[in-house]
């Protein structure tokens, strides 16, 4: 898991410890910093994106982590663009009038 806020990262570490989640690591930093770690490339089965500005840099970092069979859960406004380089929107689920969940896979 990648979390830039220290308190949230500490919470995630404690939750993983209490749930005894095997092979779980919490990286406290930005996704572009974590993308520099070769040991994390292609290891994520799931990537969740919520409340961040998506741009080419973010999609490149997501592609770095995503396993070939992995999926991205993108919580977004229905008006957000669908330019997702290297990824294809597989399905979209409405979550009310102002948001939706887009599920993406590698192209």
Its sign, for the CA torsion 19, 37, 32, 29, is positive
pLDDT tens for 46-78 read 888 888 888 888 888 888 888 999 999 999 988
Q: Which of 10, 87, 28 is nearest to 56 (CA)?
A: 87
Asked if pLDDT for residue 81 goes beyond 80, the answer is no
Look at residue 32 and tell me whether its pLDDT is greater than 80. yes
**Mean pLDDT over residues 14-40, rounded?**
90
Q: Are residues 54 and 97 in the same domain?
A: yes
DSSP state of 96: S
Q: Is the pTM of this model over 0.85?
A: no
pLDDT score at 96: 83
Regarding whether 77 and 51 lie in a shared domain, the answer is: yes
Looking at the fold, whether 59 and 79 belong to one and the same domain comes out as yes
Same domain, 67 and 95: yes
80 in helix, strand or coil? coil
**55: domain CATH number?**
3.40.50.150
> Into how many domains does the chain fold?
2
Give residue 104's pLDDT band: very low, low, confident or very high (50, 70, 90).
very high
pLDDT at 43: 87
Do 25 and 49 share a structural domain? Answer: no
Whether residue 25 sits in one domain with residue 58: no
Split at pLDDT 50, 70, 90, the class of 80 is confident
Q: Domain range holding 87?
A: 43-107
Q: Is 27 in the same domain as 71? A: no
Q: Mean pLDDT over all residues of the chain? A: 89
Residues 60 and 21 in one domain: no
If asked whether residues 4 and 50 sit together in one domain, one would say no
């Amino acid at each position: 898991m990648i979390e830039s806020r220290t308190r949230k990262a500490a919470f995630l570490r404690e939750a993983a410890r209490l749930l005894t989640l095997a092979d779980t690591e919490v990286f406290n930093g930005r996704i572009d910093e974590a993308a520099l770690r070769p040991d994390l490339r292609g290891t994520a089965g799931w990537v969740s994106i919520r409340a961040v500005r998506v741009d080419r840099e973010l999609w490149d970092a997501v592609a770095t982590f995503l396993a070939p069979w992995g999926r991205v859960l993108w919580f977004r406004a229905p008006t957000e663009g669908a330019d997702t380089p290297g990824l294809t929107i597989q399905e979209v689920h409405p979550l009310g009038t102002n948001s939706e969940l887009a599920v993406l896979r590698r192209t």
